[in-house]
Amino acid sequence: MNKKILVTGGEGFIGKHLVKRLRADKYQEVSIDKKTGININGKKLEGIFKKHKLDCVIHLASEVGVRDSLKRPEDYMQTNVIGTYKLLRLVKQYEVNQFIFTSSSSVYGKRGGKKGFEETDKLSPISPYGITKMVAEKACEITLKNSGTHLTLLRFFTVYGPDNRRDMAVFQFTDDIAHNKVIQLYGHGTRRDFTYVDDIVDAIVRSVKKPFKFEVINLGNSRPITVLKLIRTIEKYLGKKAKIVRKPLPKGDVPITFANILKAERLLGWKPKVKVEVGIKRFIDWYKGEYRL
């Protein structure tokens, strides 16, 4: 448990939960984030590698969000691809034993069979965000090939929970309902594989404990629900009805995300524990406390 781990994006939504868990598990954690003055494109980054003998790097830092990537594709390329590549060079130079890259279901695009998206599926992203994650995955594979660094690529599916980013569906819907604003419901029957943040963090920690030479692993709830059902669940625990306006699915959004997690079960012994009903109630309880409702 005494591994020294660098977490990039440690002040972000998932990063905060991960750092808390690593500290509880007695890992030696080093966290960086652009909010604290050190980012993956900055000159201070190499100083972290010089100062600390790192055993593992968990790379969470990223420009995120499908729709925003349509407006700022250059920013996404700069951070998600070039920034990741600079980080990889340091990982290789300083002979870090393990690198865990956090990717996204957006790399799959609209593809996927009845059993969900599988790691072996052809990648066909339809947004700049998905493209940058796909390219970054390949950069990880190529850069660290034939090195001593173990590489795990984790593809996340629609993560939510306390401290959720304000631009994500669970937070936006909750906030809009709480303040009597109209919810814009995009697409007809759109389904998402909502995955609770504690389950994601648990899978990351399990990955730390099992350094694979190279593996790609999906992490999702594997029980996609309609976005409308999500809204109804939020209504239930918030105690308020939503005002809904339906709109067409925006460019870059996919009609469904659905993780096939058989590989995660087999390699990590991992299954998501938190059902959406339970996770949404936990989020609503946090939201009420945070915003004094």
Q: For residue range 266-275, what is the model confidence (pLDDT) as tens digits?
A: 999 999 999 9
Q: Residue 149: name the closest of 186, 94, 99 by CA.
A: 99
Confidence (pLDDT) at 252: 83
What is residue 293's predicted lDDT score, i.e. its pLDDT? 75
Tell whether 243 is covered by a domain: no
What is the total residue count of the chain?
Answer: 293
| Distance (Å, whole) CA 221 – CA 256 | 13
Q: Predicted confidence band at 255 (pLDDT cuts at 50, 70, 90)?
A: confident
Task: Report the share of the chain in percent with pLDDT over 70.
Answer: 99
In a domain, 68, yes or no: yes
Average the pLDDT over 75-87 and give the result: 96
Domain assignment of residue 236, yes or no? no
63: CATH: 3.40.50.720
Q: Which of 129, 160, 196, 287 is catalytic?
A: 129
Q: 286: which residues sit within 8 A by CB, 6+ positions away?
A: 161, 162, 163
Residue 120 domain flag: yes
pLDDT confidence tier of residue 189, bands split at 50, 70 and 90: confident
Give residue-wise pLDDT tens across range 195-213.
Answer: 999 999 999 999 999 999 9
Contact 7, 22 (CB under 8 A): yes
- In the residue annotation, 76 being an active-site residue is answered as no
Whether pLDDT at 234 is above 70: yes
CB 204 within 8 A of CB 18: yes
Residue 141 binned pLDDT confidence (cut-offs 50, 70, 90):
very high
Task: Give the total number of structural domains in the chain.
Answer: 1
Please indicate, yes or no, if residue 19 is contained in any of the structural domains: yes
Domain encompassing residue 14: 4-161+195-221+256-273
